[in-house]
Amino acid sequence: MNPNQNASTPAAWFAIGIWAVLSLGWIASDKMVPDGDEQGHIGAAELFLSDLGSSNPLGFMHRLWWEQMGEYPQAFTAGVGLWWWLMDGGQPGRASVRGICLLSLVIAAIAVGRITRRYTTNDTRDFAQATSTVLVLCIPLANGVTRHFMPEGALLAAVAVTLLMAHRFVEHPTLWRGIHLGVFIGLGLLTKQTFILMVALPLGWLLTRLRTQHLLSLGTVFLAAALVAGPWLAHNSTDQLTYGLSSWSGHGDANLFEHLAYYPITTLSLGLGPFLAIAGIVALVQLLRAHDKRVLILGATWLLGGIILLTLVPKKYPRLMTPLLPAAIIWISVAIAKSRSPRRWLLSTVTLAVTWLVITSTQTIPLSFTSKAIDPGCPQSWLRPPDGRDLGLERTANLLKDMPDGPILLIGAPAIPCTVQTTHDWIEHLRPYLRRNGDERTVHQDPTLAHSSIIDWSGGPGEQVEIPALSTSLSIRAKLTP
């Protein structure tokens, strides 16, 4: 059956529009304080925001291409900081700021669609491309991660676009296509170190298809990548070596089976979800029967090869595998396009995938394969319902506006349990919240230091702020003067 190509592209763009509206609605409804790792990335982005806000573009570029700001490179946080500045600063949780993270999944969906069309016949290319674009938007873990300020979301786009550029370069090795590929490799390296684990095998396989007379053109690729990422990598090589060694040390005592099973089980349960996982397995069987070697090798080097390389790293987190998941979508889309009833298979697959995505985005369902032996800490939750509870930050900030100027004393703040959010102490959220509201007052917990206002979690007089998520409340009052 020959699908109707004329309707494929508009349908894909319509799906992107619907997805964007629903995703922005999710973000607008979610007020929960950021995860601890996420808060670190927001803090780094705020430094880039500060550079631009103080008219210091050279400082911005210095941070991006030279300075060490924690464990990771800075391409993602620099991009967020730039967008945050364009949105006039303020709270990063606003949908107009936080929504920039969703762009990564849109870019990945479009790139994966353009890769997919290269593995089908002329009469099904548009259909396969649209199918792949829509299904990438349905990947559960990819949706969860890109709703937050996490570099794995940006890495999802970086890997997909890099492999698309590699396809274009291999098909027609020109100077400009080599530069394009090298630039995106460099940007990927500046996004997160695990980029190399994601692209090494599929990129290596693609480049082996270059003809001998074009091997010298690889120099253009390496030169462009070195110009983009080389300064930062060279300047921070010692710190990066230390970071790499710490990743190899692990932080648990899991046995071999637990390490081997971690990412395969996570792929099926949290990564793709049951319906896309089943569709991927069925598609793999169909492609094996059809002896479709090219698409099988692409998926095997991208998804399976990436899982193997990640498995070799003792430290394991579900979010790390996000950039690998689109490979399964390519298998599914090609198999659907080549089936006898492509429209029927597409409708059923999309319906089930969307249903699962909606359920996991609106209901609390335990999905993570968490082994305390692998990760003894609290498990991070990326795929969850929106949570409108901000732990009293907005009301507290508003009440403090009516308090005397000067330092603020915080008394008896409870720890935030990981059942609510894996994050830092409440005071570490209040400080940046006030600063981003334009309130630069000091907040401390030492009663012997000067203070003009008191936030008291142990009770007492003052304006009351209920914190249902923590089953408690706080009071705000001015310091009594003799």
pLDDT digits (tens, 9 = 90+) for 443-453: 999 999 999 99
pLDDT surpassing 70 at residue 368: no
Separation between Cα atoms, residue 427 and residue 229, nearest integer Å: 36
Q: Once rounded to an integer, what is the mean pLDDT over residues 62-76?
A: 92
**pLDDT value at residue 199:** 98
Q: Which residue has the tokens 């003792």?
A: 314
Separation between Cα atoms, residue 141 and residue 259, nearest integer Å: 20
Q: Once rounded to an integer, what is the mean pLDDT over residues 396-404?
A: 95
Structure tokens at 304: 């399976």
Pairing of strands 408-411, 443-444: parallel
Could you please report the per-residue DSSP string of 56-90?
-HHHHHHHHHT---SSS-SHHHHHHHHHHHHTTSS
- Predicted TM-score of the model (pTM): 0.95
pLDDT surpassing 80 at residue 4: no
Cα–Cα distances (Å) from 401 to 405, 434, 455, in that order, read: 8, 10, 13
Q: Is 252 exposed, middle or buried (0-12, 13-18, 19+ CB in 10 A)?
A: middle
* Ordered strands of the 443-444 beta sheet: 443-444, 408-411, 453-456, 472-478, 463-467
Hey, which residues does 478 pair with through a beta bridge?
A: 453
Q: Is 414 exposed, middle or buried (0-12, 13-18, 19+ CB in 10 A)?
A: middle
On average, the pLDDT of the chain sits at: 93
Separation between Cα atoms, residue 475 and residue 482, nearest integer Å: 21
pLDDT one-digit tens code per residue, 211-256: 877 788 899 999 999 999 999 999 998 888 887 777 776 666 788 8
Q: Which amino acid is at 254?
A: A
**pLDDT value at residue 382:** 92
Q: Is residue 136 a contact partner of residue 157, using CB atoms and an 8 Å limit?
A: no
Q: With DSSP H G I counted as helix, E B as strand and the rest as coil, what are the percentages for the chain, rounded to 5?
A: 65, 5, 30
The CB-side HSE value for 40 (13 A sphere, CA atoms) comes to: 13
pLDDT surpassing 60 at residue 38: yes
Q: Once rounded to an integer, what is the mean pLDDT over residues 60-69?
A: 93
**pLDDT value at residue 236:** 92
Could you please report the per-residue DSSP string of 424-467?
--THHHHHHHHHHTT----EE--TTS--SEEEETT--SSEEEEE
Q: Once rounded to an integer, what is the mean pLDDT over residues 46-53?
A: 97
Separation between Cα atoms, residue 281 and residue 275, nearest integer Å: 10
Q: Three-state secondary structure along 342-404?
A: HHHHHHHHHHHHHHHHHHHHHCCCCCCCCCCCCCCCCCCCCCCCCCCCCCCHHHHHHHHCCCC
pLDDT surpassing 50 at residue 304: yes
Q: Once rounded to an integer, what is the mean pLDDT over residues 102-111?
A: 98
Q: Which amino acid is at 236?
A: N
**pLDDT value at residue 370:** 63
- Which residue in 87, 69, 449, 4 sits closest to 235, CA to CA? 69
Structure tokens at 4: 């109707």
% the chain with pLDDT above 70: 96
**pLDDT value at residue 375:** 77
pLDDT surpassing 70 at residue 6: no
Identify the residue with better confidence: 124 or 255. Answer: 124
pLDDT one-digit tens code per residue, 339-356: 999 999 999 999 999 999
**pLDDT value at residue 334:** 98
H or E segment to which residue 411 belongs = strand 408-411
% the chain with pLDDT above 90: 83
Cα–Cα distances (Å) from 380 to 38, 87, 261, 393, 421, in that order, read: 10, 28, 19, 22, 8
Q: Is residue 404 a contact partner of residue 453, using CB atoms and an 8 Å limit?
A: yes
- Which residue in 233, 217, 211, 148 sits closest to 180, CA to CA? 217
**pLDDT value at residue 241:** 84
Q: Once rounded to an integer, what is the mean pLDDT over residues 436-442?
A: 94
Q: Once rounded to an integer, what is the mean pLDDT over residues 373-386?
A: 86
pLDDT surpassing 60 at residue 482: no
Q: Is 203 exposed, middle or buried (0-12, 13-18, 19+ CB in 10 A)?
A: buried
